[in-house]
Amino acid sequence: MLTAKQQQLLSYIKQHLDQGGVSPSFEEMKEALDLKSKSGIHRLISALEERGFIRRLPNRARALEIVKLPDSLSSSAHAAPGANVVPLRKPTPAPLAASTIAANDVVEIPLHGRIAAGVPIEAMEGQTMLSVPAALLGSGDHYALEVSGDSMIEAGILDGDFALIQRADTARPGQIVVALIDENEATLKYFQPEGRKVRLAPANRDYDPQVYDADQVRVQGRLAGLLRRYN
């Protein structure tokens, strides 16, 4: 079952596709649903994608396609006057350069301080938001951490990079994860479970792996992408 907002967004996407042949931009969806930030739209789209109602088409600016509709939307076109249909703002006609603008859609995700790519440091929680190109993120909920240290440089993760993390509490062996150690220190490392132990391995031959009891380590997310600034 879809939430009211999920159904409202799906209905708006359908209207936009029917009228213009392209899905709406994140900005248009945010305005149509009267949300304050695009991160809310990203979460709604991820939820619809996970439930199989929409899918993203790769390498296209406006890359949403409706796969199926719930019964409530399928029958809404024939609803009687006064039926409980969620009202929507009409899509604004898109300018000629709309598909170029849509390619630059961004979402805002929480930026939770700095994380050590070397020796673990205390995990930091913050309220700062980071604007991220939507194309870098897949399904699910995400947050960002600023990398501190050089122990992951052989994996292409440099000091000062922003690690984009998909929230998760599990990982496959060999994935790069945010690992919380003893509930107060976080680090970015390769995840290698070894029986009752967990090896957190660096990507720098100058550093040794860190080995902990399995109950000392809690996965808080998997690496989904990187942002890098060039000064």
User: Which two three-digit tokens encode residue 52?
Assistant: 């199989």
Which of 52, 39, 37 lies closest to 143, judged by CA? 39
- CB 202, CB 132: distance < 8 Å: no
Q: Show which residues are catalytic.
A: 151, 189
Coil, helix or strand for 212?
strand
Distance (Å, whole) CA 118 – CA 147: 9
CA distances from 223 to 81, 102, 104, 191 (A): 49, 25, 22, 11
